[in-house]
């Protein structure tokens, strides 16, 4: 028997607050092109929660269901859901009932680890809101329209991280005096220290 397979394996990625059950960052995916013979939610990968009301009801029920769970994978509302708790935030990856849990689990680990790298191990509601752009870009690097693109947290964090500040000295008319060379040495030493602290 052939499974109803699709590249569109992720239905949603959710970052929800455990304190007040509020949304921090949510992404629901639908394939951009649904074949003519498919009907809405019958197509694998189709967004099962098209309206905001449906999404909020699903998220509320999901938080209640996972609040006292000991495992990281559950079947909820005929969907495979993998999740991880970080401080006061719950991270979820939602896939269809026939999806490979191991693949979805690798996505949640990639998301958690990339966020920890980017946010310097402080993945909490406040930090995520303050760094919403980084969290959003991180999700975009992992998933595109429900298709898993990357699961290596180091690669993801390198693609997302902000470019270094442009505080390099002007290299035109380099001062080759003792004082000028000392400034260049201090600058190089500072940059090397920053790179070592970042683990590059």
* pLDDT, tens digit (0-9, with 9 covering 90-100), for 127-163: 999 999 999 999 999 998 888 999 999 889 888 886 6
pLDDT value at position 1? 41
Q: Which of 16-25, 30-39, 73-82 has the lowest mean pLDDT?
A: 30-39
Residue 8 carries which DSSP code? Answer: B
Give yes or no for residue 4 having a pLDDT over 60.
no
Any bridge partners for residue 95, and if so which?
A: 10, 80
For CA atoms 122, 63, 11, 133, give the dihedral sign.
Answer: negative
Q: Which residues of 57-92 are buried (b: 16+ CB within 10 A; e: fewer)?
A: ebbeebbeebeeeeeeebebeebbbbbbebebbbbb
State the fold for domain 10-160. Beta-Lactamase (3.30.450)
Distance between first and last Cα of the chain: 48
Using the Cα atoms of residue 101, residue 66, residue 13 and residue 77 in order, give the sign of their dihedral: positive
Report residue 90 as tokens: 């719950």
H-state helical runs in the chain: 52-66, 101-118, 125-130, 132-142, 153-160, 178-198
Contacts of 162 (CB under 8 A, 6+ apart): 134
CA distance 177 to 183: 10
pTM for this model (two decimals): 0.72
């Amino acid at each position: 028997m052939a499974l109803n397979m699709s590249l569109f394996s992720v239905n949603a990625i959710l970052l929800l607050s455990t304190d007040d059950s509020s949304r921090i960052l949510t992404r629901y995916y639908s394939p951009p092109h649904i074949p003519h013979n498919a009907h809405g939610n019958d197509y694998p990968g189709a967004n099962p929660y098209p309206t905001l009301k449906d999404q909020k009801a699903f998220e509320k029920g999901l938080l209640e269901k996972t609040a006292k769970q000991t495992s990281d994978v559950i079947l909820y509302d005929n969907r495979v859901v993998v999740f991880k708790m970080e401080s006061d935030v719950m991270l979820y990856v939602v896939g269809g009932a026939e999806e490979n849990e191991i693949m979805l689990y690798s996505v949640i680990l990639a998301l958690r680890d990339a966020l920890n790298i980017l946010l310097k191990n402080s993945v909490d509601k406040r930090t995520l809101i303050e760094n919403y752009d980084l969290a959003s870009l991180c999700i975009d690097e992992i998933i595109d329209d429900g298709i898993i693109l990357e699961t290596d947290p180091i690669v993801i964090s390198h693609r997302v991280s902000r470019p270094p500040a442009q505080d390099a000295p002007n290299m035109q008319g380099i001062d080759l005096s003792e004082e000028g060379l000392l400034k260049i040495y201090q600058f190089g030493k500072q940059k090397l220290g920053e790179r070592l602290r970042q683990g590059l």
